[in-house]
Chains A and B, each alone.
Chain A
Amino acid sequence: MTNKTDAQHALTLGDRVQADRVHTSLYTDPAIFEQEMDKVFSSTWVWVAHASEIPEAGSYKNTYIGVQPVIVVRDRKQKVHVLLNRCRHRAATVCEGKKGKTSSFVCPYHGWSYSLDGALRGVPHPESYADQLEKGELGLVSLRVEEYAGMIFATMKNDIEPLVDYLGPAKKWMDLFMKQGAGYPIKVAGEHRFRFPGNWKIQLENTTDAYHFPLVHKSFLSSVDKQTEEMLDFVGGSGYVEDLGNGHSVMVMIPQLIDLEENLDAPIPARFAELAEELRAEGHADQEVRRIVRAVGGSGFNLNIFPNIACSMAFFRVLQPISVNETEIHHAVITMDGGPQVANQARLRLHEHFQGPMGFGTPDDSEAWERVQKGASAGKDLWIMLNRGLAGEKPTPDGRASDVSAETGMRAAYQQWKKLMTA
């Protein structure tokens, strides 16, 4: 790096994360990005799939841990494996396509074949190896995999704590989030994928940023009914952001929608009146109608799980770093598996309304993040300020909390970043 200033050289990685700010180089320095792929993404639990994405034996999904391609696959005994997508012969990927179903993985280059658990089954023309090929040593590299509430995580670091310990108090919020199945299993039913020219941590911050909502999403707020607009007018409201430890945080925007199975007697919002009528006409009892309708609207909080997944109101936000200034985002829609068709259609339409390249919300977020990255190339010695809500931060049983538009969740994520990067 020839264009670093002296001041930047003088700062250690640890110095670059302060209690109330982080250094601009965290967005812009390619060397830091390289280290993140190793010290963050290869050293902690990383979300790879929701169980519903690989429903049957042989179902697989291709994804990445950091920048490394991995296959998430369910074997014949329903056990989930996460395998590096790299043939052990000469490195070609053994599986392509976003998802599918298979009975084995066969490398297209020389035909080495692997079973669903990654074991090397056979190689064409083995005679040339003269029985010296250590087949047992040459399976696809298999990672440690653990699952909580249908969320599948993998890690490249075998000796870290169990997933449930890593998640800690976040587990309670995951359980609450899954209530939007309204009693039906949660199902990922597609996703919007997009990229923006900016660092991955800009997006990580955004999921715990209530402050931007009324400004960046003004055009979205203008497109919803008055009652919904008032519900989404949460900045300055009674919500809060809580640091849950290990980089995780929850931002509660609409406190009355924390538990979707409570307040079932509250009036049905006007925007769901028609849906409620249709559900009643289908024969659903009143309490069931209320439960489904409430679930359709989604949870009143965003749970940010470090480093790459968020349970965000009504969808999963998946974050995939590409380079220091390029990030891919997936917004996966959630439906009720086997639930009423009209309710699932409502979920799909709500998702399309805000998310995706033609949504009324995501493109504006993306534009703002792009401008953060562009602006960050000015003033190399400047800092990203994260001190909002610091003054009002108070200890809680699970961590620390401040007001709904506090930058508490971002501070939590950067402290975890610092811990991993300086380990």
Chain B
Amino acid sequence: MNTELITQVAAFIWQEADMLDHGEYAQWLESWTPDGLYIVPIDPEQTDFANTLNYAYDNAEMREKRVARLGSGESISTSPVPRTVRDVSRFRVLSNDGTNVTVRCAQNLREFRKDVLKHYTADVSFELVRSGGSFLIRRKVVRLINSTDTLQGIGYIL
């Protein structure tokens, strides 16, 4: 097992998780390749995301809009801003050609807003591209284990 690669990948993904929990969205937006896609599907078995309905299917433009909305103060569902803490673990490298690394991991996120504590568990897949000693995200797919259930508003980035 290539523990050095796992360590590199984990360090990058932990950094991303920390950015999102602390609202460092400007830096998060720079963590992507220009053609990167952030996807939160509904159907757990789905792979053709472009041709199906998702919760989120964000290219660079939509990611920027999503970030702008979260910080705008114009949306009553995100004011007050939800507080989140997420644990990411169970990293497994699925493929690695020296430039592109595909990794799957588990994410447990707790959210507190107003008077409600919520819990979202997800399988997360990353397609990472090596760049300047670190990585950029080409694709992040967040598969919530309860994606087919009735969800309430998610006013942050999973």
Chain A interface residues toward B at CB < 8 A: 98, 189-196, 216, 218-220, 222-223, 328, 333, 341, 344-345, 348-349, 351-353, 356-358, 360, 362-364, 366-368
Determine if A223 and B68 form an interchain contact, defined as CB atoms under 8 angstroms apart: yes
For the complex of A and B, 7 pairs with smallest distance between CB atoms: A363-B153, A190-B53, A363-B77, A219-B75, A219-B74, A357-B151, A367-B77
Determine if A194 and B150 form an interchain contact, defined as CB atoms under 8 angstroms apart: yes
Determine if A353 and B77 form an interchain contact, defined as CB atoms under 8 angstroms apart: no
Determine if B53 and A189 form an interchain contact, defined as CB atoms under 8 angstroms apart: yes
Determine if A341 and B51 form an interchain contact, defined as CB atoms under 8 angstroms apart: yes
Assuming A216-B76, A358-B40, A366-B153, is B68 touching A191 (CB within 8 A)?
Answer: no
Determine if B76 and A351 form an interchain contact, defined as CB atoms under 8 angstroms apart: no
Determine if B74 and A222 form an interchain contact, defined as CB atoms under 8 angstroms apart: yes
A216 to B148, CA, bound (A): 27
Determine if A192 and B53 form an interchain contact, defined as CB atoms under 8 angstroms apart: yes
Q: Mark B99-121, 1 if CB is under 8 A from A, else 0.
A: 00000000000000000000000
Partner-binding segment picked from B7-15, B27-35, B54-62, B89-97: B54-62
Name which residue of chain A comes closest to B43, CB basis.
Answer: A190
B119 to chain A minimum Cβ distance, whole angstroms, is 14
B69 touches A (CB below 8 Å): yes
A219 to B74, CA, bound (A): 5
Determine if A218 and B154 form an interchain contact, defined as CB atoms under 8 angstroms apart: no
Determine if A352 and B57 form an interchain contact, defined as CB atoms under 8 angstroms apart: yes
A223 to B65, CA, bound (A): 6
Determine if A222 and B150 form an interchain contact, defined as CB atoms under 8 angstroms apart: no
B52 touches A (CB below 8 Å): yes
Interface residue count on the B side (C-beta < 8 Å): 31
A196 to B77, CA, bound (A): 12
B3 touches A (CB below 8 Å): no
B72 touches A (CB below 8 Å): yes
22 A–B pairs (Cβ distance < 8 Å), ordered by A = A190-B43, A190-B53, A216-B76, A218-B75, A219-B75, A219-B78, A222-B69, A222-B74, A328-B150, A345-B50, A348-B51, A352-B54, A352-B57, A356-B151, A358-B40, A358-B154, A360-B69, A360-B75, A363-B153, A366-B152, A367-B76, A367-B77
Assuming A190-B42, A364-B76, is B51 touching A345 (CB within 8 A)?
Answer: yes
Assuming A222-B74, A360-B65, is B152 touching A351 (CB within 8 A)?
Answer: no
A191 to B151, CA, bound (A): 12
A238 to B43, CA, bound (A): 41
Name which residue of chain B comes closest to A215, CB basis.
Answer: B76
A76 to B62, CA, bound (A): 45
Which listed residue, B65, B68, B151, touches A194 by the CB 8 Å rule? Answer: B151
B36 to chain A minimum Cβ distance, whole angstroms, is 16
Given A348-B57, A364-B77, 18 other A-B residues pairs in contact with their CB atoms under 8 A = A189-B53, A190-B42, A190-B53, A191-B53, A192-B53, A193-B151, A218-B74, A219-B78, A341-B51, A345-B50, A345-B51, A352-B55, A352-B57, A358-B158, A360-B66, A363-B75, A364-B75, A366-B153
Chain A neighbourhood of B42, CB < 8 A? 190, 192
Chain B neighbourhood of A367, CB < 8 A? 76-77, 153
Assuming A222-B68, A367-B77, is B152 touching A194 (CB within 8 A)?
Answer: yes
Which listed residue, B51, B55, B65, B152, touches A195 by the CB 8 Å rule? Answer: B152
Assuming A190-B53, A348-B52, is B153 touching A368 (CB within 8 A)?
Answer: no
A367 to B56, CA, bound (A): 19
A345 to B72, CA, bound (A): 28
Determine if A189 and B72 form an interchain contact, defined as CB atoms under 8 angstroms apart: no
A366 to B76, CA, bound (A): 10
Chain B neighbourhood of A348, CB < 8 A? 51-54, 57
